[in-house]
Amino acid sequence: MNGAWIELEGLNLHRGGRPVLQGISASLGGRAVGLVGANGAGKSTLIGALLGVLRARSGRVRVLGLDLPARAMEVRARAGVMAEQAGIFPGGSGVDAVVFAGMLSGLSRREALRRAHRALDALDVGEERYRATRGYSTGMRQRTKLAMSLVHDPEILILDEPTVGLDPPGRIQLLNLIRDLRDEGRRILISTHILHDAEYLCDELLLLEGGAVAYYGSVTGILGPESAVLVAEGSGLDVALAARLTASGVRAEAGGDGRMTIKPASDADLLAFWRVVAETGAEVRHLSREVPTLEDAVVGVMEKTGGR
């Protein structure tokens, strides 16, 4: 699959008479796309539009090159969906739930059973599959829900808060399983408010703030080529030195504890830093590179947009 598989053009969508999505435009073709933003930013509403469940007031939505909502049934047939609020079908075992999901997708019971075991095997669900789901842990429930989204072998996965409620070990295990599915060739949209999850899995990002796009594009793009910070430690790294660096066009700030942070925009800034250090007789004993996290970058973007 080449090119963008999610295309949004001027999307406006109201719910209950209230505007939720406002002028959303983005073109996304990453292996794993992170849909991120605070609660109430419009993530779940956008997922509804991508599946043709919610109809836009204006604008255009295309998934896999198919216009929505006109071709919603085709998109849903090619998508596996793991909804945050949806539970596991009650009254049976894990494998029963996955079989039922397969039959809802149009598979015969025999084929659904075969594929259910294949999906559960891929997610490392052992004999637990035969136990009643009412006794499942949160981790087992999430794995079973993921298997339900996979049973019909979809091209794309749309996962809404897949790691919610999991403890750290369970969260890492599920993220690794999703990463394996991504590496097998499936395109994935993962909606999450946990930015560490998006940073771990995703190569592209759609950041919503107040129903509008605050950023879309590559994860490396939001981090930016200038996002790395150098931390120098030594003597003479004081306010006066920081002022000289600033006058030379180098962004620098003295910490007052023998530490100084430098944000070089180019190799020329690094050369200027060492030149000023030599001229002032300062001493650098240790120089390290700190790269901000995706969370740092997202907070920075939201501050620039004014939090909408």
For position 253, which CATH number holds?
3.30.70
**E strand intervals along 64-164:** 66-68, 79-82, 156-160
One domain for residues 80 and 169: yes
One domain for residues 77 and 169: yes
One domain for residues 235 and 259: yes
Measure the CA–CA gap between 22 and 42, rounded to whole angstroms: 10
**Within a domain: 75:** yes
**E strand intervals along 74-155:** 79-82
- Looking at residue 1, its pLDDT comes to 44
Structural domain count, the chain:
2
One domain for residues 27 and 125: yes
Q: Are strands 6-15 and 18-28 parallel, antiparallel or unpaired?
A: antiparallel
**Within a domain: 233:** yes
Q: Residue 93: beta bridge partners?
A: 132
One domain for residues 164 and 285: no
Q: Is 154 helix (H, G, I), strand (E, B) or coil?
A: coil
In terms of Cα–Cα distance, which of 262, 300, 259 is closest to 282? 259
Element (H, E) at 177: helix 168-183
**Within a domain: 53:** yes
Whether pLDDT at 307 is above 60:
no
For residue 92, CA distances in Å to 3, 26, 156 come to: 41, 42, 27
Give the gyration radius of the chain's Cα atoms: 24
> What domain range is 108 assigned to?
6-223
For residue 173, CA distances in Å to 136, 163, 197, 270 come to: 16, 10, 12, 41
Among the residue ranges 56-60, 181-185, 206-210, 289-293, the one predicted with the least confidence is 289-293
**Within a domain: 27:** yes
How many other β-carbons are positioned within 10 Å of the β-carbon of residue 99? 25
Measure the CA–CA gap between 277 and 282, rounded to whole angstroms: 5
Percentage above 70 pLDDT, the chain: 96
**Within a domain: 303:** no
Whether pLDDT at 137 is above 60:
yes
pLDDT (tens digit, 9 = 90+) per residue, 184-211? 999 999 999 888 899 899 999 999 999 9
pLDDT (tens digit, 9 = 90+) per residue, 220-255? 888 765 556 889 999 999 999 999 999 988 989 998
Among the residue ranges 61-65, 106-110, 118-122, 192-196, the one predicted with the least confidence is 192-196
One domain for residues 207 and 238: no
Out of 223, 246, 264, pick the residue that ends a domain.
223
One domain for residues 83 and 11: yes
One domain for residues 87 and 184: yes
One domain for residues 217 and 139: yes
- Looking at residue 151, its pLDDT comes to 95
**Within a domain: 296:** no
How many other β-carbons are positioned within 10 Å of the β-carbon of residue 229? 17
Residue that the structure tokens 């025999």 belong to: 110
